[in-house]
Amino acid sequence: MFYNIPTKFFCESSCIANHAGDIAGFGKKACIVTGKKSSRSNNSLNDVIDTLNAAGIEHVLYDRIEENPSVELIPDAVSYAREFEPDFVIGIGGGSPLDASKSIALMLANPGRGKELLFDTVSDYNEALPVIAVPTTCGTGSEITPYSILTLHDKKTKSSIPHHIFPKLALADPAYLKSAPDSILKNTAVDALGHFIESYINSRATAISRMFCEKGLSMWKHVRDILKKSDRTDEDFETLLIVSSFAGMAISHTGTSLPHGMSYSLTYDYGVPHGKAVGTFLASYIANSDDVNRQEILKLLGYSDISELQDDLKDLIGTVSVPKEIYDSYVNDMAHNERKLASCPFHADGETVAGIYKGSLIEIV
């Protein structure tokens, strides 16, 4: 049994201003890391800057984080912020800026080291600068996980860096979700569903990780209803954020499994948003797992069979078109991915992988 979540987490209205004192405890100079647009339109960036100014904390702003940030982007941000010598890093946005802020915090703490450090846990290195995470989407849970997932152009895929960097503080304000388009709410909430399902059906699952999944899967019933309606309340946005963070707590202990492994190629090759790419494989992952886990998850989610879940997923995220030869290469690659196959608690081989692809939301063209 193992439990470790060293992140102080708050989810409430006016969250940034309420916790100015916690922020000030990290030093006098902050490096803000965010994406190109959304943190300005949803006001999260303003709230952070206002709070820093009021507390007498100086900042440098790096606002060029792209979706699915690449390894190459990290040194660009680091060289921009290095001379300022920040004491801590504040990531604002979806999973992309939050993940990037963790890698940037690691490199800032290790002057003189190149981007190789990101995948090197063998040689000596300093711990990352403290990270504060301000989530503005409702799925990755990155504000409470130790993972920093980067795009590897040389391998044409994505991978988590091996360093585990938990944010020291996570400040989640439901107000930042209000301006998000439906597609972003749906895709990212489906990502959270994937985290619950892949953490539950996982060879590293424990009673503690399952506790987060059981509560979260039963709450996801309400998430589904929230996603389907058009007039969402403040409480609805709070539920979306809390469920997403619960899912982060679950995968912090177990990691993910085959649907995430399968999703990365769809995102790299076709630009499919992360949550949608994960959701493509969720129903068929459950369908190919063992009967006990399958029945338990369907019961928690309030479905009587897999097809009800698949219909809902199709409704929320749609399908993905992939040419036959590429589809075949995906099946073959995953059938030989020993690390991901080992994350399944049931026997999974090439035939299982082919079955998951066959039952997925991919349409072969």
Give contact residues for Zn ion (rule: CB under 5 A): 191
Q: Please give the C-alpha separations between residue 91 and each of 95, 161, 256, 290, in angstroms, as whole numbers.
A: 9, 17, 23, 39
Q: Among candidates 330, 338, 333, which has minimal Cα distance to 358?
A: 330
The residue within the footprint of ligand NAP, chosen from 4, 6, 25, 37 (CB under 6 A), is: 37
Q: Give the binding range for ligand NAP (CB under 6 A) out of 25-33, 88-96, 163-171, 353-361.
A: 88-96
Q: Does 42 bind ligand NAP (CB under 6 A)?
A: yes
DSSP letters along 268-283, please? HHH---HHHHHHTTHH
- Please select the residue that binds ligand NAP; options are 275, 298, 334, 352, rule is CB under 6 A: 275
Least separation in angstroms between residue 246's CB and ligand NAP is 13
Which residue of 53, 179, 233, 295 would you call a contact of ligand NAP, by CB under 6 A? 179
Neighbours of 65 (CB within 10 A): 26
Using rule CB under 6 A, residue 103 touches ligand NAP: no
Asked if 289 interacts with ligand NAP (CB under 6 A), we say no
**Minimum CB distance to ligand NAP smaller for 224 or for 294:** 224
Q: Is the distance from CB of 244 to CB of 192 less than 8 angstroms? A: yes
Contacts of 330 (CB under 8 A, 6+ apart): 262, 265, 322, 357
Does position 184 interact with ligand NAP (CB under 6 A)? The reply is yes
> Which of 38, 51, 199, 343 contacts ligand NAP by CB under 6 A?
38
Nearest approach, Cβ of residue 137 and Zn ion (Å): 11
Q: Which stretch binds ligand NAP (CB under 6 A): 133-141, 312-320, 340-348, 352-360?
A: 133-141
We find the least distance from the C-beta atom of residue 361 to ligand NAP, in angstroms, to be 17
Chain centroid offset of residue 129 CA:
20
Q: Which amino acid is at 88?
A: F
CB closer to Zn ion, 19 vs 274: 274
Pairing of strands 8-11, 29-35: unpaired
Residue 277: other Cβ atoms inside 10 A: 27
Contact between 141 and ligand NAP per CB under 6 A:
yes
Comparison of 107 and 334: residue with beta carbon closer to Zn ion:
334
**Rounded least distance, CB 334 to ligand NAP, Å:** 17
- The radius of gyration of the chain from alpha carbons, rounded to an integer in Å, stands at 20
145 binds ligand NAP (CB under 6 A): yes
Choosing from 7, 51, 101, 140, the residue that interacts with ligand NAP (CB under 6 A) is 140
CB of residue 150 to ligand NAP, shortest distance in Å:
8
Element at 230 (helix H, strand E): none
Q: Shortest CA distance to 166 belongs to which of 117, 212, 129, 206? A: 129
Amino acid type, 111: P
- 21-29, 36-44, 52-60, 288-296 -> range binding ligand NAP (CB under 6 A): 36-44
Q: How far is the CB of 266 from ligand NAP (least distance, A)?
A: 12
In the set 86, 91, 95, 167, which binds ligand NAP (CB under 6 A)?
A: 95
| Cβ-defined contacts of 12-18 (< 8 Å, 24+) | 12/172, 12/173, 12/238, 13/173, 13/174, 13/175, 13/234, 14/173, 15/171, 15/172, 15/173, 16/44, 16/47, 16/48, 16/51, 16/134, 16/171, 16/173, 17/47, 17/50, 17/51
